[in-house]
């Protein structure tokens, strides 16, 4: 146990001291700080607060233009500014020139259409694809049309208002328990949190796994391994290395998450986040606990696989190819989880949430976005724990054998034969 | 109780036998030579002694006890393929290795400083290994093997890759440790080192121990058949002395091969009859000759 501690300390000291580690952490923190402020920046810089200037030719369909102006004036009263400022001009040529000069964002032309009884409207602007302005115009024109038609139908004010009021549709999740499901706000938060957890696990596993495998192969190829395995049992060395790297990864993640949370909690950001439907205080603590359990077990499952693979490769050049299968496994887990963000109840996700290599990604996702029964979670954790122990034992055996084998990468048959010969 | 006793160990890798019924004992303060051509089974033997692999049959005892994890701290190992962490400071890795073998960091630090002073390179304490020359890396490697004051040191190809000055220095150090009671198991291809350092040896050939015992006794078993002769005046007719098989003329004398020691006396009488003899010596066979004879004979 004492020696495991020595290996852990050595692994950590060398990692923390390395320049690459410090620089990576710093860059990630910087990215997170910028990223955490993006919602606020979008709000501040985005076009949302600014009215676009839209021109029209004087004299064409005056009734419609007048109604449109009235609706935008009403909008100005409600939200402080209209989406569109309508400006009149004598002819289309002049409007075109104004768009060219950037005094206008665009202009509309109306073309009578006897078939519908309402003119076809064209919005001309520099950026042809659906801008916010054209969708705003669409909504308003629709309303103008409704108003015009309803006025002719002779309905009362009351009826008109009732007709125009949109249907209320709220989302609420169904749960068996105490009855109150997650509100839309909680769900938004859950999606965000699940996304973060899945990405953290993916990055944690990929970065630390590669690191563990590389270090072990490097020890082997520099032949330090021969001295180390004669000083300490290979098991102690492997676990020391895995745990040491794990602590470092956790430290790194803690610094990054800390930076993220600190930034999100700044007053201006909390408001912006609320605008997106994310509230940090609505995070379910049970979700955090489950996420941590799955993160830990998943991390060790993958880390030990990486260690085993690192031990059978003799040269760093061969490592990339050798870890490919594990990398693929994490990638599959990650992409299935990305798909699951929108379909948390699909059979694929449910089945995969029991498969040990994917369950760390997918059970967390199901807990966050759907509502699995407690036994489902327990079963998934059970399977994951059992396979982590099994693979840990197997990895230790492979490691014990692999560190003494040099030359070309051994086949499975050769490995089993060597295991028998070395009596491990 | 001898520090190390290997009793008829057998190791098989699948169909192939790597070590076949090897036994030897190393006394306290003894350097034991394990000789053999490449692939003879030396490294496998050393790995078994180090507990890296277990023998299929036979027994290895350390001060009378069977192998256990605790014994790792009294074993030191200088592997054939040298290796250190290239990007880590000398002090960091040596102290790490010493700690892994159960020595407290403080003691290890004092030991390391003493060793670096002894090798006259105290400034390496804070250097990275990749900054050192190959020969100096070897010194550090040697320190790594003995930093924790082991009772038994296993040295595979002990002095390879060193210049003559450093070989002398390491040999001197090994002798000092030997006189302090440390036991060594030592393999090399340099027979003159074995003759200088070892009391007992085993020559292995194709997994089998083919020649074992004290170097002195082994040499007695091999006929003395080389004669060195020098005289002031040229001596004629050496070829015609009965029992002489070959004569080679050197700058300052002759080297003769004789069939049996008695023939050497005849050679001396023949020479004295022609004039004064400055030097006459019936040479012991060198270990090199014995090795080549033993291993080479069985090659056919």
Q: Averaged over A333-342, what is the pLDDT?
A: 87
Percentage of chain A modeled with pLDDT above 90: 5
The total of other beta-carbon atoms located within 10 Å of residue B249's CB is 10
The model's pLDDT over B72-94, given as tens digits with 9 standing for 90+, comes to 888 999 887 777 888 889 999 99
Rounded CA-CA distance B13/A410 in Å is 15
Is residue A176 over pLDDT 60?
A: no
pLDDT in tens, B157-169: 878 778 888 889 9
Instruction: Name every chain A residue with its beta carbon within 8 A of the beta carbon of B53.
Output: 404, 421-423
Residues B160, B58 share a domain: yes
Of the residues A14, A215, A231, the best mutation for testing chain B's interface (the one with the most B CB atoms within 10 Å of its CB) is A231
Cα A387 off chain centre by:
27
pTM for this predicted structure: 0.72
Domain presence at residue B184: yes
Whether the CB-CB separation of A351 and A257 falls below 8 Å is answered with: no
Residues of A in contact with B138 (CB under 8 A): none
For the beta carbon of residue A252, count every other beta carbon within 10 angstroms. Answer: 21
Half-sphere exposure of B120 (CA within 13 A, CB side): 3
Structure tokens given for A99 = 């768009």
For the sheet with B16-26, list strands across it. Answer: B16-26, B4-13, B57-62
Report, as an integer, the average pLDDT of A291-301.
Answer: 88
Cβ atoms A385, A298 nearer than 8 A:
no
Query: Of B54, B79, B85, which is closest to A423 when you measure between CB atoms?
Result: B54
- Is the model more confident about A212 or about B71? A212
Chain A residue numbers with beta carbons less than 8 Å from the beta carbon of B100 are 3, 6-7, 228, 231-232
Residue B5 reports pLDDT greater than 90: yes
Query: Do A379 and A273 lie in a common domain?
Result: yes
The yes-or-no verdict on residue A194 having pLDDT over 70 is: yes
Same domain, A95 and A224: no
Mean pLDDT for A204-232 is 85
> Can you say whether residue B66 is alpha, beta or left, with left for phi > 0 and alpha for psi between -120 and 50 degrees?
beta
Residues of B in contact with A12 (CB under 8 A): none
d(CA B185, CA B46): 8
Q: Is residue A21 part of a domain?
A: no
Residues B107 and B23 in one domain: yes
What's the confidence (pLDDT) of residue B300?
Answer: 45
Nearby residues of B174 by Cβ (< 8 Å), 6 or more positions away: B31, B155, B158, B184, B197
Q: How many beta-carbon contacts under 8 Å exist across A and B? A: 68
Contact A226 B92 (CB under 8 A): no
Q: Which of A6, A224, A230 sits opposite B50 (nearest CB)?
A: A230
Residue B202 has pLDDT above 90, yes or no: yes
Give me the helices (H) in A101-167, please.
132-153, 157-164
Confidence at B150, pLDDT banded by 50, 70, 90: very high
pLDDT of residue A1 exceeding 80? no
Query: What per-residue confidence (pLDDT) applies to A185?
Result: 63
Q: Is residue B295 part of a domain?
A: no
Whether residues A404 and B52 touch (CB distance < 8 A) is answered with yes
Residues in Cβ contact with B193 at an 8 Å cutoff, skipping those fewer than 6 apart: B158, B159, B167, B171
Which residues in chain A (384-413) have CB-CB distances under 8 A to chain B?
404
Task: Return d(Cα A144, Cα B187) in angstroms, integer.
Answer: 99
> Where among B200, B219, B238 does a domain terminate?
B219
Instruction: State yes or no: pLDDT of B221 exceeds 70.
Output: yes
Q: Are residues A153 and A199 in the same domain?
A: no
Residues on chain A touching B99 (C-beta within 8 angstroms): 3, 6
Which sign does the torsion angle of CA A188, A193, A199, A202 carry?
negative
Q: Is residue B41 situated within a structural domain?
A: yes
Residue A350 has pLDDT above 80, yes or no: yes
| Structural domains in chain B (count) | 2
**Most B-contacting residue of A224, A400, A422, A424 (CB-CB within 10 A), to test interface:** A224
A179 vs B296 pLDDT, higher one = B296
Q: In chain B, count H helices and then E strands.
A: 9, 13
Do residues B14 and B105 share a domain? yes
Tell me the average pLDDT across A182-200. 75
Question: In whole angstroms, what is the distance from residue B16 CA to residue B3 CA?
Answer: 30
CATH of the domain at B214: 3.40.50.300
Residues of chain B positioned with their CB less than 8 A from the CB of A3 = 99-100, 102
Which residues in chain A (228-247) have CB-CB distances under 8 A to chain B? 228-233
Token output for A381: 């954790």
Could you tell me if B125 and B272 lie in one domain?
A: no
**B296 in a structural domain:** no
What pLDDT, in 10s, does the model give residues A84-97? Answer: 888 888 788 888 88
Distances (CA, A) of B68 to A230, A420, B2, B149: 12, 20, 17, 18
Among A28-42, A370-384, B5-19, the range scoring the smallest mean pLDDT is A28-42
In a domain, residue A36? The reply is no
Judge if A159 and A190 occupy the same domain. no
Find out whether B281 and B227 touch, Cβ atoms under 8 Å.
Answer: yes
A328 and A376: one domain? yes
Residue A48 has pLDDT above 60, yes or no: no
Does residue A124 share a domain with residue A68? yes
A142-151, A182-191, A321-330, A386-395: which has the minimum mean pLDDT?
A: A182-191
Task: Please state the rounded mean pLDDT for residues B16-20.
Answer: 88
Residues A304-318 as b/e (b if ≥16 CB within 10 A, e otherwise) read bbbbbbbbbbbeeee
Work out the minimum CA distance from B192 to partner chain A, whole angstroms. Answer: 27
Last-in-domain residue among B166, B193, B219: B219
Report the b/e string of A2-21 with b at 16+ CB within 10 A: ebbebbbebbbebbeeeeeb
**Cross-chain CB nearest to B13 (options A223, A233, A421):** A421
Which residue reads 């004087």 in tokens? A58
> B213 and B235 share a domain?
no
User: A52-57 and B277-283: which strand pairing?
Assistant: unpaired
pLDDT average, residue stretch A375-393: 90
Confidence check: pLDDT of A193 > 50: yes
Closest chain B residue by Cα to residue A417: B14
Expressed as residue numbers, the domain containing B70 is 4-219
Residues B271 and B212 in one domain: no
pLDDT digits (tens, 9 = 90+) for A239-285: 899 999 989 888 888 888 888 888 877 777 766 666 655 566 666 77
To the nearest 10°, the Cα dihedral for B236, B238, B239, B240? 90
Q: Which residues constitute the domain of residue A57?
A: 53-164
- Could you tell me the pLDDT band of residue A134, with boundaries at 50, 70 and 90? confident
- Inter-chain residue contact A227 with B79, CB threshold 8 Å: yes
Q: Which residue of chain B is at minimal alpha-carbon distance from A422?
A: B53
Is A17 a residue whose pLDDT tops 50? yes
B82, closest residue in chain A (CA to CA):
A223
If DSSP codes are grouped into helix, strand and coil, which group holds residue A274? helix
Cβ neighbours of A229 in B, within 8 Å? 52
To the nearest whole number, what is the mean pLDDT of chain B? 87
Write down the pLDDT at residue A86: 81
Cα separation, A395 vs A178, whole angstroms = 44
CB of B229 within 8 Å of a chain A CB? The answer is no
Query: What span, in angstroms and rounded, lies between the C-alpha atoms of A108 and A360?
Result: 54
Residue B206 CB partners (closer than 8 Å, separation 6+): B39, B40, B41, B298
**Six-digit token pair at B164?**
């003559």
Residues 6 or more apart whose CB falls under 8 angstroms from that of B141 comprise: B78, B82, B83, B84
Q: How far apart are CA A171 and CA A133, in angstroms?
A: 28
Q: Which of A20-29, A129-138, A227-236, B198-207 is predicted with the least confidence, judged by mean pLDDT?
A: A129-138
Question: Crossing angle for the helix pair A184-221 and A234-264, nearest 10 degrees?
Answer: 140
Residues A205 and A149 reside in one and the same domain: no
Most confident segment among A158-172, A341-355, B99-113, B153-167 = B99-113
Which residues lie closer than 8 Å to A359 by C-beta, 6 or more apart? A294, A298, A352, A353, A380, A383, A384
B176 with B188, same domain? yes
Supply the DSSP symbol for A204. Answer: H
Residues of chain B positioned with their CB less than 8 A from the CB of A219: 85
Residues 6+ apart with CB under 8 A from B217: none
Stretch B181-185: mean pLDDT, rounded?
A: 93
Q: Quick one: A235 and A290 in the same domain?
A: yes
Q: Are residues B255 and B140 in the same domain?
A: no
Average pLDDT, chain A: 80
**pLDDT of amino acid A177:** 47
Which of B14, B54, B82 lies at the smallest CB-CB distance from A223?
B82
Q: Could you give the CA distance from residue A171 to residue A184 in angstroms, rounded to a whole number? A: 6
Please tell me whether residues A105 and A211 are part of one structural domain: no
Q: Alpha-carbon distance B243 to B260, whole Å?
A: 7
CA–CA gap between residue A240 and residue A5 (Å, rounded):
7
In a domain, B298, yes or no: no
Residue with the bigger pLDDT between A364 and A175: it is A364
> Do B134 and B190 have their domain in common?
yes
Provide DSSP, B53-92: S--SEEEEEETTBPP-GGGGGGEEEE-SS----TTSBHHH
Residue A44 forms contact with B (CB below 8 Å): no
Do residues B186 and B252 share a domain?
no
Burial class (CB in 10 A: 0-12, 13-18, 19+), A87: middle
Strongest mean pLDDT among A169-178, A415-424, B268-277: B268-277
The pLDDT value given to residue A281 = 65
Question: Does residue A358 share a domain with residue A330?
Answer: yes
In a domain, A46, yes or no: no
């Amino acid at each position: 146990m004492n020696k495991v501690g020595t290996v852990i300390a050595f692994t950590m000291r060398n990692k923390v001291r390395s320049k690459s580690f410090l620089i990576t952490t710093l860059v990630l923190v910087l990215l997170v700080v910028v990223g955490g402020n993006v919602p606020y920046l979008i709000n501040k810089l985005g076009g949302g607060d600014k009215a676009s200037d839209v021109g029209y030719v004087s004299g064409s369909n005056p009734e419609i233009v007048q109604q449109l102006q009235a609706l935008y004036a009403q909008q100005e009263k409600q939200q402080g500014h209209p989406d569109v400022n309508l400006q009149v001009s004598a002819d289309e040529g002049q409007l075109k020139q104004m768009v060219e000069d950037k005094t206008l964002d665009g202009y509309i032309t109306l073309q009578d259409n006897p078939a519908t009884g309402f003119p076809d409207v064209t919005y001309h602007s520099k950026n042809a694809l659906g801008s916010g302005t054209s969708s705003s115009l669409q909504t308003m024109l629709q309303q103008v049309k409704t108003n015009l038609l309803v006025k002719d139908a002779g309905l009362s004010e009351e009826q008109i208002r009732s007709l125009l009021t949109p249907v209320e549709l709220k989302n609420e999740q169904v749960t068996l328990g105490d009855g109150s499901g997650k509100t839309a706000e909680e769900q938004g938060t859950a999606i965000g949190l699940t996304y973060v957890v899945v990405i953290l696990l993916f990055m944690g596993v990929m970065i630390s796994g590669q690191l563990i495998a590389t270090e072990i192969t490097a020890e082997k190829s520099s032949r330090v391994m021969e001295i180390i395995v004669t000083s300490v049992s290979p098991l102690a060395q492997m676990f020391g290395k895995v745990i040491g790297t794990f602590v470092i990864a956790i430290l790194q993640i803690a610094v990054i998450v800390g930076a993220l949370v600190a930034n999100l909690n700044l007053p201006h950001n909390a408001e912006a986040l609320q605008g997106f439907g994310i509230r940090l205080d609505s995070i379910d603590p049970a979700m955090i606990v489950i996420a941590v359990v799955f993160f830990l077990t998943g991390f060790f499952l993958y880390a030990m696989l990486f260690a085993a693979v690192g031990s059978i490769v003799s040269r760093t050049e061969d490592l990339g190819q050798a870890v490919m299968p594990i990398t693929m496994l994490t990638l599959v887990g990650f992409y299935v989880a990305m798909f699951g963000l929108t379909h948390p109840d699909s059979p694929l996700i449910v089945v995969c949430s029991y498969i040990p290599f994917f369950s760390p990604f997918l059970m967390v996702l199901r807990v966050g976005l759907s509502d699995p029964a407690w036994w489902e979670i327990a079963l998934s954790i059970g399977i994951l724990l059992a396979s982590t122990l099994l693979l840990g034992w197997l990895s230790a055996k492979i490691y014990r054998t692999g560190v003494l084998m040099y030359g070309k990468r051994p086949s499975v048959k050769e490995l089993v034969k060597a295991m028998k010969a070395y009596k491990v | 109780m001898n520090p190390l006793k290997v009793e008829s160990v057998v190791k098989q890798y699948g169909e192939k036998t790597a070590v076949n019924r090897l036994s030897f004992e190393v006394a306290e303060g003894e350097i034991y030579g394990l000789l053999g051509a490449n692939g003879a089974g030396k490294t496998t033997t050393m790995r078994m002694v180090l507990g890296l692999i277990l023998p299929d049959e036979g027994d290895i005892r350390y001060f009378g006890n069977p192998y256990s994890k605790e014994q790792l701290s009294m074993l030191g190992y200088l592997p054939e393929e040298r290796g250190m962490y290239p990007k880590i400071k000398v002090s960091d890795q040596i102290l790490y290795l010493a700690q892994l073998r159960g020595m407290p960091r403080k003691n290890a630090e004092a030991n390391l400083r003493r060793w670096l002073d002894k090798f006259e390179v105290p400034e390496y304490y804070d250097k990275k290994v990749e900054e050192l020359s190959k020969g100096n890396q070897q010194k550090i490697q040697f320190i790594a093997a003995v930093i924790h004051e082991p009772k038994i040191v296993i040295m595979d190809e002990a002095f390879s890759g060193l210049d003559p000055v450093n070989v002398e220095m390491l040999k001197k150090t090994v002798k000092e440790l030997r006189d302090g009671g440390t036991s060594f198991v030592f393999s090399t291809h340099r027979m003159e080192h074995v003759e200088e350092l070892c009391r007992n040896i085993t020559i292995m050939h194709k997994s089998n121990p083919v020649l074992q015992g004290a170097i002195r006794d082994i040499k007695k078993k091999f006929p003395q058949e080389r004669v060195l002769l020098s005289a002031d005046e040229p001596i004629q007719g050496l070829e015609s002395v009965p029992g002489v098989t070959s004569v080679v003329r050197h700058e300052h004398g002759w080297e003769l091969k004789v069939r049996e020691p008695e023939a050497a006396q005849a050679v001396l009488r023949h020479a004295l009859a022609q004039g004064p003899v400055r030097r006459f010596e019936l040479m012991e066979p060198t270990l090199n000759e014995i090795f080549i004879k033993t291993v080479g004979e069985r090659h056919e």
